[in-house]
Amino acid sequence: MFKWQRFQAVVHKEFIHVIRDWRSLALAIAIPVFLIFLYGYALTLDLKNIPTRVWDQSRTPESREFISLFQGSPYFSIVGYSDGYPSIQEALDRNQAMIGLVIPADFAGRLNRNMPVYIQAIVDGGDANTSRLAMSYVSAITAAYNINTSIRLLAKAGLSGTIQPVNFIPRVWYNMDQRSQNAILPGIIAIVLVVISAMLTSVTIAREWEMGTMEQLISTPIRPAELILGKVVPYFIIGMIDVLIAVIMSRWVFQVPIRGNPALLFGMAALFLTGALFLGMTLSIVLKSQVLANQIAIVSGFLPTLILSGFVFAIHNMPEALQYLTYIVPARYFITLLRGIYLKGIGLEILWANALMLFLYALILIALAHLKLKFELE
């Protein structure tokens, strides 16, 4: 039978160990801060100030007007002018530029005669995603220039307006500024919890085996449920403190708003944290080695969360086999919940299936840890 006194004794013992091991405690607080700063500032999908070299063979007011659109755009930064392809290639080779813009010598003449003009953009394809974004920005600026030019040419011909049978009016919901931090930073909470859980609970039972104190615990009347729950409680509290730190830093350092219910956010974080803690606990029970349990916990928790959860890479862009594999990654459901609460302001009326999967994940890991410890103690 579960005894509250024995459970309290284990909690008290584990708190004493946490306080004595102040380095691990300090690391558990410092890691979330470090990860949030690292991902918040370094991992950004926004493309700004693309270094651009220009070879203007026309050197006319019309070509300078076209170049001014790039100069006035926050997405491009003119870093220099070239006089031929060799200098453009050298700039790309030395990573001094990402785009080489080539304007032909007959730019103004063909434009004024209402003839098609071909502008060449040489893009460094070493980073495929960045190069695709850069080309889309060039296309957008060129389209804007085309509209302005057609209006001017029609005006010179005594006409007004321009022919636009289809008008494209974009409207972005949930993340109107299209800031990548608004999508990335909520997912950082999942990364933080996985790392902290792997670092802390994966060594708890293994430490008892290595120090020879497990035999003493076995000789006491303590039950497996009392032992594993008592050992998890201190780390659960530390994990929830880390969630609070992540939420505060996201809001006040990176201005990421929470549009949904903060209580629901912390409730879902508690569910995910519980499952992650008991995953580390199960590995600690099975492997009986602190180093091995810690390494496997990080590999089995951190890598799937980073790669297969939709945190960085869109799941629908993955091969079909990997898409099916993501269904067993708990972080997939947690990150969907986080983004739904943070960006869309929705609740369990829509996200209930993801919450249910997290509940089942936590329940299965608790039962598995209990059964494995019970087997080891018998």
Question: In whole angstroms, what is the distance from residue 188 CA to residue 178 CA?
Answer: 18
Query: Which of 329, 358, 327 has the alpha carbon at shortest distance from 341?
Result: 358
Does 81 share its domain with 217? no
Please state at what angle helix 224-252 crosses helix 204-211, rounded to 10 degrees.
Answer: 130
Does 345 share its domain with 314? yes
pTM of the model: 0.78
Q: What local confidence, expressed as pLDDT, does residue 158 receive? A: 61
The DSSP symbol for 182 reads: H
Q: What local confidence, expressed as pLDDT, does residue 272 receive? A: 95
Does 240 share its domain with 301? yes
Q: What local confidence, expressed as pLDDT, does residue 363 receive? A: 94
- For 109-130, letters b (16+ CB in 10 Å) and e give ebbeeeeebeeeebbbeeeeeb
Does 109 share its domain with 204? no
Give yes or no for a contact between 238 and 245, defined as CB atoms under 8 angstroms apart: no
9 inside domain: no
Structure tokens at 298: 């990080």
Helix-strand-coil split of the chain, %, nearest 5 = 70, 5, 25
Instruction: State the maximum Cα–Cα separation within the chain, in Å, rounded to a whole number.
Output: 100
In angstroms, the Cα distances linking 141 to 55, 65, 75, 156, 269 are: 17, 12, 10, 23, 43
Does 205 share its domain with 133? no
14 inside domain: no
279 inside domain: yes
Domain extent, residue 63, equals 50-156
Does 216 share its domain with 347? yes
DSSP assignment of 129-166: HHHHHHHHHHHHHHHHHHHHHHHHHHHHTT--S---SS
94 inside domain: yes
* Residue ranges of the chain with per-residue pLDDT less than 70: 1, 43-46, 127-128, 151-172, 178, 212, 214-219, 376-378
Q: What local confidence, expressed as pLDDT, does residue 228 receive? A: 83
Domain end position, chosen among 156, 190, 213: 156
Cα angle 40, 43, 46 (rounded to 5 degrees) comes to: 100
2 inside domain: no
Three state DSSP letters for 335-377: HHHHHHHHHHCCCHHHHHHHHHHHHHHHHHHHHHHHHHHHHHH
Q: What local confidence, expressed as pLDDT, does residue 232 receive? A: 87
Does 214 share its domain with 356? yes
Does 132 share its domain with 184? no
Structural domains counted in the chain: 2
12 inside domain: no
Does 257 share its domain with 308? yes
Does 326 share its domain with 359? yes
Does 54 share its domain with 39? no
220 inside domain: yes
CATH code for the domain of 67: 3.40.1710.10
Domain end position, chosen among 141, 156, 171: 156
3 inside domain: no
Does 32 share its domain with 67? no
